[in-house]
Amino acid sequence: MSPSPAPVAPDPDLAARRSLRDHRRFATALLGGMGALTVATYALPPGIATDLLQAAAKAGFVGGVADWFAVTALFRHPLGLPIPHTAIIPNQKERLGRALGRFVAGHVFTRGEVSQFLGQLDLPGILRRFLSDPAATRPAAEALAALVPRILATIEDGRARRALGRILPRMLGGRDAGRVIGRALRQLVRGGQHQDAFSFLLSSLKAALASREYALQRAIEARVIEQGGLLVGWTVGAAVAQRVIGQINAELARMEPERSEMRAAFEEWVRREIVRIEQDPARAAEIGAAISRLLAHETMRGWLGDVWTRLRTTVEEDATRPDGQTIAFIAGALANLGALLESDPGARARLQVAAEAIAGTLLPAAQGQLSAFIAGVVARWDAGTVTEKLELSVGPDLQYVRINGTLVGFLVGGVLYAVLHALFGQVN
């Protein structure tokens, strides 16, 4: 069984083809009618009426032929004859494309038209509606997050480390660094994190003491021998060392409870130091200078360079995760921008002005590129396709040119004959 033929796609230009065909037939029939009328007048009885009709028919026929030639010459050679300056569109499509590009760029894509279009477009409103829709901002946030690794890849690591090494000392070691640290410490105290830091220091100190207890014991015994002699050291050195280490552990254990005196003293010292930092410019400047010296140290600079590497790696990895903080941060920023545009008319106005300014700045270059783009597109079109599409688009209207030329020629021919006959009489 032979396979059934594939269905033929409907012709999208079928209606236009029929319209062109019908108009062309009417114009041609009218032209033929003028020719037939011209011939028929020779069979009529001689007289002024016959002469008038014959003159009008001849003028109508000549006018119809002239307009047929003009219309046909736009798209092809009339009767297939290579007459100069015919088939204008297929032969001159590159030049026409360049002219069209210049016209669009210079008279349509102008600063005034672009500004008027942007004003009618209401760009802030469009952006606000887009940003207020989580279903739209989520894909946008994911797309922007996907660009983060590429952006970071364009940044040279060595340059980034050097920039970080210059920026952080200025940010953290300036004149107001102490006050910034004071405010940060006050937030830590308000949340109780300072006690967490104290507990961490205690646990670290106990762990260090336990790991080096033997070495510390030997050092104490050596000190006892140095001060009391070999006999005293041999007799009581180990006991003294154990007592000292035990006392240290006991003091550390006393500090562990939440209500211990040492914790209370530590908190009082921290609060007093915060007040000094916030109220004493000299103390704040002293802390800022200390931070500057610390950040200027070569070891710290190396650490800052490592911070950039770790930060970049972390951000790149997080940006690839759908549930990462990067996407969530970008989505939140977009939502905040939408809320700002919703509540702040000034922000909407500034956005509109900025869009028009950017468009005005980019317009000269865009005009040249648009002109070249249109010219290039037209130049790449197939001549036959261009001719067919244009003829289908404007062909019916051009057939009216033929019809009007025939009718106007008929009327003008008749009027001209009547006027000349009235002025000069019958021409023999």
Q: Are residues 165 and 244 in the same domain?
A: yes
Lowest mean pLDDT among 122-126, 258-262, 360-364: 258-262
Chain-centre distance for alpha carbon 92: 38
b vs e for 312-345, b when ≥16 Cβ sit within 10 Å of the residue's Cβ? beebeebbeeeebebbeebbeebbebbeebbeee
> Averaged over 229-251, what is the pLDDT?
59
Answer yes or no: is 401 within a domain. Answer: yes
Question: Looking at 266, 296, 326, which one is the last position of a domain?
Answer: 296
Indicate the residue type of 263. R
pLDDT exceeds 50 at position 232:
no
CA 63/CA 85 separation, integer angstroms: 20
Residue count (the chain) = 428
- Unique residue bearing structure tokens 């830590």: 188
Answer yes or no: is 311 within a domain. Answer: no
Q: Are residues 176 and 285 in the same domain?
A: yes
CA 204/CA 197 separation, integer angstroms: 10
Highest mean pLDDT among 47-56, 168-177, 209-218, 305-314: 47-56
CA 137/CA 337 separation, integer angstroms: 11
CB under 8 Å to 390, separation ≥6 — which residues? 75, 89
**Of 352, 409, 366, residue with least CA distance to 55:** 409
The kind and range of the H/E element at 51 are helix 48-75
Residue 1: pLDDT band (50, 70, 90) is very low
Q: Are residues 291 and 160 in the same domain?
A: yes
CB under 8 Å to 102, separation ≥6 — which residues? 371
Q: Are residues 167 and 279 in the same domain?
A: yes
Domain coverage including residue 261: 156-296
Highest mean pLDDT among 14-18, 92-96, 134-138, 209-213: 14-18
Answer yes or no: is 319 within a domain. Answer: no
Q: Are residues 252 and 172 in the same domain?
A: yes
CA 330/CA 146 separation, integer angstroms: 11
Question: Looking at 296, 324, 349, which one is the last position of a domain?
Answer: 296
Q: Are residues 160 and 283 in the same domain?
A: yes
**Of 94, 87, 88, residue with least CA distance to 379:** 94
CB under 8 Å to 153, separation ≥6 — which residues? none
- Asked if 402 contacts 61 with a C-beta cutoff of 8 angstroms, the reply is no
Write phi, then psi, for 51 (nearest 5 degrees). Answer: -65, -40
Q: Are residues 192 and 283 in the same domain?
A: yes
Answer yes or no: is 329 within a domain. Answer: no
> Averaged over 131-153, what is the pLDDT?
80
- Asked if 408 contacts 63 with a C-beta cutoff of 8 angstroms, the reply is yes
Higher-pLDDT residue of 255 and 134 is 134
Distances (CA, A) of 13 to 90, 98, 319, 358, 381: 20, 27, 49, 41, 18
Q: How many CB atoms lie within 10 A of CB 156?
A: 10
% of the chain surpassing 70 pLDDT: 64
What 261-269 contacts at long range (C-beta under 8 Å, 24+ apart), as own/partner pairs, is: 263/195, 263/198, 266/194, 266/198, 267/189, 267/194, 267/195
pLDDT at res. 407: 94
pTM, full prediction: 0.45
Task: State the total domains in the chain.
Answer: 2
Indicate the residue type of 324. G
Chain-centre distance for alpha carbon 96: 33
What is the Cα gyration radius of the chain?
A: 47
Lowest mean pLDDT among 24-28, 65-69, 386-390, 406-410: 386-390
> Averaged over 360-387, what is the pLDDT?
81
pLDDT exceeds 60 at position 157:
no
- Asked if 394 contacts 60 with a C-beta cutoff of 8 angstroms, the reply is no
**Of 120, 133, 127, residue with least CA distance to 344:** 127
Q: Are residues 57 and 175 in the same domain?
A: no
- Unique residue bearing structure tokens 């409907």: 10
**Of 102, 66, 73, 69, residue with least CA distance to 90:** 73
Tens of pLDDT, residues 73-127: 888 888 888 888 888 888 887 888 888 888 888 877 787 787 777 777 777 888 8
Geometric angle at alpha carbon 267, from 265 and 273, rounded to 5°: 100
DSSP 3: P
pLDDT at res. 403: 93
**Of 37, 89, 28, residue with least CA distance to 59:** 37
Question: Looking at 229, 263, 296, which one is the last position of a domain?
Answer: 296
Answer yes or no: is 391 within a domain. Answer: yes
